[in-house]
Structure 1
Amino acid sequence: MSEFERIGLEPARQLLEQGAAVVDIRDPHSFAGGHITGALHLDNNSLPDFVTAADREQALIVCCYHGNSSQQAAAYFADLGFARVYSLDGGYALWQQQYPDKIAQPTPQT
């Protein structure tokens, strides 16, 4: 069984600047309301395609609301053979507070 690491906001931000991928496992409505810039929304429907196409050597940061559910998802990715998997401590809620300039905002509907 592979391992994942829990990661704080600043190390996660640095990894993202170095090209890490970030996946957001929150519900679609929450993701649409705002998410970490560059994050990919994953759910049960999109997961198989992501796993098939992903570079398993690229650092992967898993994000949820507060950093709890992301630990289970990170363990899942590690078990699938992803080499560097991280669960974001504090999740999107803390990221949004600390880095509001690194949030993709929703597009207003007209």
Structure 2
Amino acid sequence: MSEFERIGPEPARLLMEQGATVVDIRDPHSFANGHITGAQHLDNNTLTAFVAGADRDQPLIVCCYHGNSSQPAAAYLADQGFARVFSLDGGYELWRQQFPEQIAQPDPHK
């Protein structure tokens, strides 16, 4: 397995301010009900296109529910040639607690 780093929400937020990409690997329903602002949903259906089109030199932060499932996903993406891959410790749940203003919510009018 290739290398990735585990980071908490605060260093992840700083990386995002510097242009890091955030991918959320939770199920589509959970992602639709709220996610880190600017995150892209990534699943088996979108993975190939994402890997093919992504800038592999930009930092990449992988987010799941609590920071467990994101670790093997981060290792996989590092194996695909991404230079700097991070797994978000605490996942979406900890991010939501620490940065509630940086959560994209569903539009209640849809």
How much does 1:107 deviate?
0.9
The TM-score normalised by the length of structure 2 is 0.97
What's the C-alpha RMSD, in Å, of the aligned pairs? 0.8
Gaps (5+ residues) in structure 1?
A: none
Q: 2:41 is matched with which residue?
A: 41
Amino acid at match of 1:74: A
Q: 1:79 is matched with which residue?
A: 79
Q: Percent identity?
A: 77
For the residues of structure 2 that align with 1:47 and 1:108, how far apart are their CA atoms?
28
- Cα deviations across residues 23-48 of structure 1 (Å, max 9, x unaligned)? 00000000000000000001100000
Amino acid at match of 2:84: R
Gaps (5+ residues) in structure 2?
A: none
Moved >3 Å (runs of 4+): none
How much does 1:108 deviate?
1.1
Amino acid at match of 2:35: H
- Cα deviations across residues 71-102 of structure 1 (Å, max 9, x unaligned)? 00000001111000000000000000000000
The TM-score normalised by the length of structure 1 is 0.97
